[in-house]
Amino acid sequence: MNPTQQLHDLGQSIWLDNITRGILDDGTLARFIAEDNVTGLTSNPSIFDKAIAGGHNYDRAVADLLAQGQQGEELFFSLALQDLTCAADLFKPAFHHSDGVDGFVSLEVSPLLADDTHATIESAVALHAKARRDNLFIKIPGTPAGIPAIEESIYRGVPINVTLLFSREQYLAAAEAWMRGIERRIAEGKSPNVDSVASVFISRWDVAVADQVPAELKDKLGIAIGQRTYKAYCDLRATPRWKKIVAAGVHPQRLLWASTGTKDPKASDTLYVEALAAPDTINTIPDKTILAFADHGKLRGAMDRNGGDCEHVIARFNAAGIDDAALAGKLQRDGAAAFVKSWNDLLGRIAQKSSAVASQAAGQGARA
């Protein structure tokens, strides 16, 4: 049996951490769905930057949008939504088969709005309305400024992928925001079923401490943080408050593992996929890691709902001088800064592509 089928049978959704117009046009995404049990995907500015830079797949669409007077961020969101709505339609069978629990794609609000709660909310509402797809998440960072935007967006009925979470505490803040938004809807008699996932980043922990810890601790911190967060997730789902919300007919917010491609060339290329196998969760995985796991991955059972030996492992890192609480905050701040850089790079790419397409069109017009 394909290891991806085993993960699916365990109850974990496999999402692709990538999108390009190429994999839509050449059938690659459809094959991931048909052969590797992929039931959703995530995107980010870096993914779109690489996709747009990677050839001429977007040239005609850029030319059409330029002709409509679009540029910059507006043009990018139009391009991204063309791809993501197409992908969302491919995932509609998974969406319907799971009664709306699975089969989602994700689009990020502008990271330039990260410190503006009101603008983030308005952007989330507008982007979701423009997409006209029930199975499209809007991504909002789970930063201090993002938490109130997450609650309000949920309250307004926008499905939210909470991104940039690095710790149990950051996850719980995101879960609390989701619950508050849902409880407000219930109190006002509105439909309570607004979907959400909470994305916890894993491999960046190990990259951050790689040069600061002894060899026996390499590539162990991210998994331990994941185990600690999974225990908190399981514990929260058992609380009366959570159960009361779910009893109202709500799809529970699900925990999503992000940044699960192995960065250490000496480590297994399926390290994080195997370690983070757990029911009622999602793993969003890069293309090559999905293919590697399908080829030679080994499912070694589900994660321990009680966290396994995570506290012992984290204590060893503490003893080695790693302050996990301080590092979680730094990773989130660094991640937010990296998102801004990626966004500015993307807008530069859009400007470059727009200029090239416009020049080509002008040259063709002159020759005609």
86 in Cβ contact with 118 (< 8 Å): no
Q: Radius of gyration (Cα) for the chain, nearest Å?
A: 21
Taking only the tens place, the pLDDT of each residue in 75-84 is 999 999 999 9
pLDDT at 338: 95
141 in Cβ contact with 133 (< 8 Å): no
pLDDT above 90 for 148: yes
What six digits make up the tokens of 290? 């999905």
**How high is the mean pLDDT of the chain?**
96
- pLDDT band at residue 362, thresholds of 50, 70 and 90? low
The domain limits of the chain are 3-358
Q: At the fourth CATH level, which superfamily is domain 3-358?
A: Aldolase class I (3.20.20.70)
CA-CA-CA-CA dihedral for 171, 213, 260, 51, to nearest 10? 110
pLDDT at 54: 80
The count of other CB atoms within 10 Å of the CB of residue 203 is: 22
What's the mean pLDDT in 13-38?
A: 97
Selection from 142, 140, 173, 176 nearest residue 158 by Cα = 140
- Whether 139 is catalytic is yes
The catalytic residue among 139, 220, 231, 353 is 139
Crossing angle (nearest 10°) for helices 168-187 and 146-155: 30
pLDDT at 358: 86
115 in Cβ contact with 57 (< 8 Å): no
pLDDT above 80 for 361: no
What's the mean pLDDT in 187-195?
A: 96
pLDDT at 359: 83
